[in-house]
Structure 1
Amino acid sequence: MGLKIAVIAGGAFEAERSLAAANDVMAALKEAEHEPELFQADGSLIDDLLRARPDAAISCLRGGDGESGDIQDALSAIGLPCVGSSAAVCRLAYDKAALAEALQAYHNLTEDVVTATVPQTLTFSRRAFELWGMEAMLSQVESRFSDSFPLCVKPASGSSAHGVSRVEDAEQLAEALREALKICERALVQPWVDGVQLCVPVIGTGWNAFALPPVEIVTKEGWYDAAARQASDAVELHVPVRNASLSPSEADAQAIRAEIERAVLETYRALGMRDCGCIDLIWDGAQAIILEAVANPCFSAEAPFAQAAKAAGLTLPNLLNELVESALDA
């Protein structure tokens, strides 16, 4: 007999996409002979869960609703096992500014040479702008990155590239920072990185975790911004990444892919992620530059996670069944 599984969707961020993913998850769970039930992430969510008493939960919430650790905290408080990482790990992964420190701590712990790289970053808080003004902040950026345009400005915590800007010159910088700080309390400024855009899903925990085939993301126009992520016809996914995108030599391409997967697993372990997740990065021709980690991936059938699983010969029903079992054993 299957388990009663709460599938949580809706929320304040990309609710329609969340519900679409939930429908795919429910269909897969039914195929795996479980009993899924959809729960809306509204003011009655906890009361509804307490009444229904499911065995486990899967969150299909998007953005901060699903990635910031808040829903994981709430489910933990009522003793409901949830697929994925703990609330503390979700909060850490959601903070893009924490990546460098987490990787350094991982290096110090393991004494391994770390393959993963993060962009050089300046972090500015909303409070700093209020205290010292925009001009003082801009002068720091111009001093650090004087010859580095274009730049990337983004919220320290955010999803789906909302609030992310490509800044071509100093004149665009102030407005980009204001936009990023509308999303959260801190903004990051980094050199813009060009290269092969990749999303690499990971399954498992600790040293038993393994990377699924890297998903190459190719935009039909421009860069992989918020608009491109919203439009289903704006990007092409290649699963796995095409060898020719990495190197003209097939042998070199395979070696590069192995290096990418190593960098992904380093990041996943450094953050303490468990069960499943996705690491977004760019291969710039020389190294894997980590952009962000998503501890609560989208399980939609069209999303990179399910596509990579399919390429690896894993069906979504079997995969979700294993993830639920792992959550129950945590």
Structure 2
Amino acid sequence: MTDSAVEKVTVLAGGISHERDVSLRSGRRVVDSLVANGIEVDLRDPDASLLGHLTATRPDVVWPALHGASGEDGALRGLLEALDIPFVGSSAAAARLAWDKPTAKELAHRAGVRTPRGITLSHDAFRELGAAGVLAAIADEHPVPVVVKPARGGSAQGVTVVESVDQLPRAMVDAYTYCDDVIVEQKITGTEVAVGVIDTGDGPSALPAVEIVPRSGFYGFEARYNAGETTFFTPARLGAGAQEAVAETAVTVHRALGLRHLSRVDLIVDAAGTPWFLEVNVLPGLTETSLVPMALDAAGFELGMVYAALAEKAVRDHR
């Protein structure tokens, strides 16, 4: 790139999380977009040689395309900060806040955003207090339908929409498979949307909201990554007031958690047009079926130019 501070980018993809395959697809798409924009790219699957490689090669920017804990819990980002290497995405501290869904919900709530009522239970508490008693208390305080999900994780893995009380035990077991802490929260009925937030230098701004309509009625793992399983509408089929509300809510969440460069905020818009915050992703999927690339395209952006601009922003922020 002419007059660019970014000539060489290392993209990290793969890892050992449950979302490895998704990460590899996201990483390849990032690589292709950056290369098309004239940037030299080194694609690496992180392993024991990674830190030594980064220290030796000193790329201008690292782009973590690692989904799941390996890329989103803040640990890798903290190491990149220790190595004094710029990287695309939120800081280690902000990523830790966003990665923990109960914490992210509380921070969003304090910023004035509506969030579903719920409870977070550790696996130890669930076991030590007696599953039967705990389940009875949950069912009494949080009547079905509820959503049961791991407190940390992505791609809807371990998530169950519970429509009857007898489904609750299995839903808890499934969620605990992915995380030692589980959220049981009120199911909000409405239009499911995802709002990407980007900041290439002029402050965070919301992309067009993407409306999500899965064939199965639930936007689970298969519906996210298999073409034809979900219908998307970009921009979402919302009234002007609701469109403005979801954009404002997404930027509010992004700011409240101290995020930077790129995020995706998942919301449900109820019948009154009120957005409810579900969770935020500091490393949204960038595959061929992912929502942020879809929103960028709908907004008229060229992926390579946006990704290059984000890499440039990472360098400027580092300085």
Would you say the 8 A contact 1:11–1:65 is kept in 2? yes
Q: Which amino acid aligns with 1:282?
A: I
Deviations 1:235-280 (A, max 9, x none): 12221112xxx3xxxxxx1111101111111111111111110001
Residue 157 of structure 2 is aligned to residue 162 of structure 1 = yes
Which runs of 5 or more residues in structure 2 are unaligned?
none
Deviation of 1:207 after TM superposition, in Å, equals: 8.6
Q: Which structure's residues are more often helix, by fraction? A: 1
Distance 1:104 1:7, change over 3 A: same
Report what 1:315 is aligned to: 302
Task: Letter of the 1:31 partner, please give it.
Answer: A
SS at match of 1:27: helix
Q: Which amino acid aligns with 1:299?
A: L
In the TM superposition, what whole-angstrom CA distance separates every residue of 1:129-156 from its partner, at most 9, and x where no partner exists?
A: 23211123113212212xx311111111
| 1:120 match | 117
Question: Are residue 144 (structure 1) and residue 131 (structure 2) matched?
Answer: no
Code of the aligned partner of 1:36 = V
Structure 1 residues 183-222: aligned runs within 5 Å = 183-204=178-199, 208-222=203-217
Deviations 1:136-179 (A, max 9, x none): 3113212212xx31111111111111111111222221221122
Query: Secondary structure of 2:265's match?
Result: strand
- Distance change >3 Å, CA 207–CA 5, structure 1 → 2: closer
- Determine if the alignment matches structure 1 residue 176 to structure 2 residue 179: no
Give the distance between the partners of 1:231 and 1:301, measured in 2 at CA: 10
Pick aligned residue for 2:255 from 260, 265, 269: 269
One-letter amino acid of the structure 2 residue matched with residue 237 of structure 1: F
Change (3 A) 1:202 1:134: same
Gaps of at least 5 residues in structure 1 are 107-113, 247-252
Of residues 91, 105, 128, the one that matches 1:86 is 91
- Contact kept, 8 Å, 1:90 with 1:296, in 2: the verdict is no
> 1:77, CA displacement in angstroms?
2.0
The answer as to whether partners of 2:105 and 2:278 remain within 8 angstroms in 1 is no
Q: Alpha carbons of 1:104 and 1:152: their partners in 2 closer, same or farther (altered >3 Å)?
A: closer
Structure 2 residue aligned with 1:56? 61
Match of 2:267 in 1: 281
**Structure 1 residue 205: Cα displacement:** 8.2
In 1, Cα distance between equivalents of 2:219 and 2:283: 20
User: Take 2:109 and 2:149, find their aligned partners in 1: how far apart are those partners?
Assistant: 22
Root-mean-square deviation (Å)? 1.8
Distance of 2:154 and 2:176 partners within structure 1: 14
Match of 1:10 in 2: 14
Equivalent residues of 1:206, 1:274 under 8 A apart:
no
